[in-house]
Amino acid sequence: MRAIEVCELVVAYRRWFKPPFRAVDNLSFEVREGEIVGFLGVNGAGKTSTIKTLMGFQPPTSGEARIFGMPATDARARQLVGFLPETALYSPYLTPYETLRLYGELHGLRGRTLKAQIEALLEAVNLAPKMHTLNKNLSKGMLQRVGIAQALLGDPKLLILDEVSSGLDPIGKRELRDLLATQRERGATIFFSSHELAEVASICDRILIIHQGRLIAEHRLSELAGRVESLEDYFIRTVQAGRDALLVGEDADATRSQFVASASPPTHAPSVALAPPSTTALTDSEDAA
């Protein structure tokens, strides 16, 4: 079964005296149940607009987005989804416990089941000692942990995470990876956007790269392993090539097929300096892990 289906999705924003700005432009992809998919792109590529549409926050201009076969705008679809927004802010006048209780009750949980889940999740994200401290007195990283805990409430079948590791310290990032691994073992599907390519390389099955709202590359990480120096290297060159192709007006589908058909890096020489590949090096062993 497909957890996510996006078909010829267009999200356009109206502008005064200018043609609408297409943040997402004819985007199509699927995520199968149980997969972990990284959704990559530079700032302004259209990742957050796509995620907003998947969550029903943004009505599509055309095309469609489906969650487990249901339209993304249908509230029932969200019964199966846990979501972590890019900037996790929670009511400053509530405690982490009260915040999770609110979201749990909105999810349809109640009583002892809810209490047990809240306590277990706060324990899992290492916030148990702060569960009765007001959110306004928590650090950004701690609030991100509250966000992660609320996303996991109700054991969702699909996790949609926008910039999941934003604000977390290295220990927090390691704990997050472990937590996501636990979710994977449970059979959850995970779809997440991130600029932390090391994190993507370590936990994803597949990556999607979008640029200017269009899908320009789609690969299983096992296909890339051993064929590119690092994910970071590959990402930069792909985006650069995609940018060049779009600048000269090449057909988006042709651009996409160029990258999808071949796992090898694009022939264009990168015009930007590449960072050392040490942190995001792809090896077979890492990919297998």
Which residues inside 38-97 make contact with other proteins, applying CB under 8 A? 52, 55-59, 75-79, 81-83, 85, 87-94
For 110, counting Cβ atoms within 10 Å of its Cβ (0-12 exposed, 13-18 middle, 19+ buried), the class is exposed
The residue type at 135: N
Alpha helices (H) in 125-196, listed in sequence order: 140-152, 170-185
Among 7, 12, 42, 102, interactor with other proteins by CB under 8 A: 102
| Residues touching other proteins, count (CB under 8 A) | 36
What is the spatial distance between Cα 114 and Cα 66, in angstroms, rounded to a whole number?
28
Residue from 2, 22, 32, 107 binding other proteins (CB under 8 A):
107
Nearer to other proteins, 1 or 75 (CB): 75
In Å, what is the CA distance from 202 to each residue of 1, 69, 170, 205, 283? Answer: 25, 29, 14, 9, 10
215-253: b (≥16 Cβ within 10 Å) or e: bbbbbebeebbeebebbbbbbbbbbbbbeebbeeeeebe
Binding other proteins (rule: CB under 8 A), the pick from 29, 39, 97, 103 is 103
Smaller CB distance to other proteins: residue 100 or 216?
A: 100
Q: Does residue 214 bind other proteins (CB under 8 A)?
A: no
CB atoms within 10 A of CB 33: 14
150/255 with CB nearer other proteins: 150
| DSSP secondary structure letter of residue 76 | G
Question: 146-185 mask for other proteins (x: CB under 8 A)?
Answer: -x--xx----------------------------------
Considering only CA atoms, give the Rg of the chain: 19
Cβ at position 161, least distance to other proteins in Å: 11
Q: Cβ of residue 101: shortest distance to other proteins, in angstroms? A: 8
Which stretches of the chain bind other proteins, using CB under 8 A? 52, 55-59, 75-79, 81-83, 85, 87-94, 98, 101-103, 105-108, 110, 134, 147, 150-151
